[in-house]
Amino acid sequence: MTIAPPRPITSAKDPRFAPTLYANVGRPESWTLQSYLLSGGYQAVQRAFAIGNDAVIDEVKKSGLRGRGGAGFATGLKWSFMPLNDGKPHLILCNADESEPGTFKDRYLMSEDPHQLIEGMIIGGFAMRASLGYIYIRGEYVQAAERIRAAIVEAREAGFLGKNILGSGFDFDLQVHRGAGAYICGEETALMNSLEGLRANPRLKPPFPAASGLYGLPTTINNVETFCAATQILKYGWEWHAGMGTEKSKGTKLFQISGPVARPGIYELPLGTTFRELIFDWAGGPLEDIKVIIPGGSSCMMLPYTEAILDTGMDYEALAAAGSSLGTGGVTLIPKADCIVNATWNIVRFYAHESCGKCTPCREGIGSWMVRMYEKQVRGQGQPGDVQLILDMCDNIGGRSFCALADACLSPVMSSIKLFRDEYDALATTGKPIYPARKRWREA
Partner 1 sequence: MKVHVDGISLDLPAGTSAIDAVFHAGKDVPYFCAHPYLSPVGACRMCLIESGSPRKNPDGTFIMEGEGDAATPKIFWFPKPMAACTMLATEGMQIKTAATSEVVAKSQAGMMEFTLLNHPLDCPTCDKGGACELQDRAFEYGYGASRFGFDRRHAEKHYPLSDYVILDQERCIHCKRCVRYFEEVPGQEVLDFIERGSHTFIDTAEGGLPVGFQGNITDICPVGALLDNVARFRGRNWEYDHTPTTCTLCPVGCSITVDARNGSLERIVAGENREVNEAWICDAGRFGHVFASEGRLTTPMIRNEDGQLVTATWDQAVDAIRAGMVGLDAHDLAVFLNADSTLEEGVAAEAFVGLTGLASVDHWPRQPGYGADAPTLTEIAQSDGVVVLGADLGEEAPVLELRILEMLRGGLLPAEFHHGTAIADLRLVERPARKREKLAVISSKPSRLSENAGFTAQLDAATALAGLTGSSDNAAVKAATELLNKAERPILILGAEALSSLSGAARSALQSLTQRTRTRILALPAGANARGLASLNLVPRSGGLRYDQLSQARVALVSRLDPLAEGQTRPRFLISHDTHLTATAQQADVVLPAVTNYEKRGTTVNLEGRLLPLRPAALKNGEAADLIRALGIVAEALDVKTGIRGIRSAQTLLSERLGVNVAELPIHGLIAPLGMRYDAPAAPYTPQLWKEGMKRSDPVYSAGMIELPMAPTFVAGDD
Residues lying near partner 1 in the complex (CB under 8 A) are found at 182, 184, 198-199, 201, 203-204, 216, 352-361, 363-365, 367-369, 372, 376, 389, 392-393, 395-402
Quick one: which of 225, 230, 208, 214 has its CA closest to 45? 230
DSSP annotation of 212 reads: S
Taking the least distance from each CB to partner 1, the nearer of 26 and 181 is 181
Alpha helices in 96-169 (DSSP H): 105-112, 114-127, 142-157
CB of 305 to partner 1, least distance (A): 29
Q: Which is nearer to partner 1, 329 or 412 (CB)?
A: 412
Compare residues 341 and 393 and give the one whose CB is closer to partner 1: 393
Q: Which residues pair with 174 in a beta bridge?
A: 133
Query: Cα separation of 221 and 214, whole Å?
Result: 10
Min dist CB 297 to partner 1, Å, is 20
- Integer Cα distance of 104 and 119 in angstroms: 21
Judged by CB, which is closer to partner 1: 33, or 352? Answer: 352
Q: Which is nearer to partner 1, 32 or 212 (CB)?
A: 212
In the complex with partner 1, the residue whose CB is nearer, 175 or 360, is 360
Q: How far is the CB of 77 from partner 1 (least distance, A)?
A: 17
Residues 6+ apart with CB under 8 A from 90: 82, 128, 129, 130, 131, 217, 218, 219, 220
Q: Taking the complex as a whole, how short is the minimal distance between the CB of residue 114 and partner 1, in angstroms?
A: 30
C-alpha distances in angstroms, 268 versus 89, 112, 210, 229, 381?
Answer: 36, 15, 31, 12, 44
**Type of residue numbered 276:** R
Nearer to partner 1, 48 or 182 (CB): 182
The helix-helix angle for 224-236 and 114-127 (nearest 10°) equals 80
Residue 28 CA, chain-centre distance (Å), reads 27
Shortest Å distance, C-beta 362 to partner 1: 8
CA 90 distance to own-chain centroid:
24
Work out how close the CB of 326 gets to partner 1 at its nearest, in angstroms, rounded to a whole number.
21
180 burial type by CB count under 10 A (0-12 exposed, 13-18 middle, 19+ buried): exposed
**Whose Cβ is closer to partner 1: residue 216's or residue 323's?**
216
Choice between 135 and 359, CB closer to partner 1: 359
Q: Find the shortest distance in angstroms from Cβ 323 to partner 1.
A: 16
Give the shortest CB-377-to-partner 1 separation in angstroms: 13
CA 55 to chain centre: 27
For the beta sheet containing 265-270, the strands, ordered from the edge strand earlier in sequence to the opposite edge, are 265-270, 252-258, 330-335, 290-294, 303-304
Closest contact distance (angstroms) between CB of 396 and partner 1 is 3
Output the CA–CA distances (angstroms, integers) from residue 193 to 172, 216, 376, in the order listed: 23, 11, 36
